[in-house]
Amino acid sequence: MELNGRMWILDDDDINTDVIYPGKYTYELFSPEEMAKHAMEDFDPTFAEKVREGDIIIAGRNFGCGSSREQAVSCMKYAGVSAIIAPSFARLYYRNSINQALYVIECAEASRYAREGKKELQHKEARIDLKKGLIAFGGREFDFTPMSGKALEIFEAGGLAPYTKKRLESVKG
């Protein structure tokens, strides 16, 4: 499987869940479309209106730190983000991303290169080969360890809920 999209290079470490999805909306029952409108609202108020289906986030270390709220993953997925690349992720954000079928990639080299070349690379196209573990942009290629095992099964099923439903149906069958 391959992902292609414009890069959103966020030149910050420790982008927390309150910035990704503002805490003031935590207990609101929003539709996916409404959640998408608030993605990255406190980091870049124009993000939700400019992001397109398939876009790729590249950020600094410890992306998604803070609370364990799944809305911080869901809003990105509903906004159209296909993958997030960072040197590291908060463990809960990483796991919530798998559960919501949002591909997260730990690749310090790609993050560093993108952040150093942000002026030239911002909103340029990137290609990610999920099977080969290859990211390509700006005339460079970067290797990463692709998802495997149960994480890949959950991702390919469309998230933890569809995966669990499929498993339960196979047991009943």
Does residue 167 form part of some domain? no
Tokens of 122: 């911002």
Does residue 138 form part of some domain? yes
Q: Is the pLDDT of residue 134 over 70?
A: yes
Question: For the segment 39-56, what is each residue's pLDDT rounded down to a tens digit?
Answer: 999 999 999 999 999 999
Does residue 89 form part of some domain? yes
Q: Is 171 exposed, middle or buried (0-12, 13-18, 19+ CB in 10 A)?
A: exposed
Q: How many residues does the chain have?
A: 173
Does residue 47 form part of some domain? yes
Does residue 137 form part of some domain? yes
- Confidence class of residue 28 from pLDDT cuts 50, 70 and 90? confident
Total structural domains in the chain? 1
**What is the percentage of the chain residues whose pLDDT exceeds 70?**
99
Question: For the segment 3-19, what is each residue's pLDDT rounded down to a tens digit?
Answer: 999 999 999 999 999 99
Side chain identity at residue 120, one-letter code: E
Contact between 81 and 141 under an 8 Å Cβ cutoff? The reply is no
- Confidence class of residue 173 from pLDDT cuts 50, 70 and 90? low
Q: Is the pLDDT of residue 68 over 90?
A: no
Mean residue pLDDT across the chain:
94
Q: Which domain holds residue 44?
A: 2-145
pLDDT of residue 97: 96
Q: Strand order in 125-129's β-sheet? A: 103-106, 83-86, 56-58, 2-9, 125-129, 134-137, 140-143
40: CATH? 3.20.19.10
Does residue 38 form part of some domain? yes
pLDDT of residue 67: 84
Question: For the segment 76-107, what is each residue's pLDDT rounded down to a tens digit?
Answer: 999 999 999 999 999 999 999 999 999 999 99
Does residue 84 form part of some domain? yes
Does residue 132 form part of some domain? yes
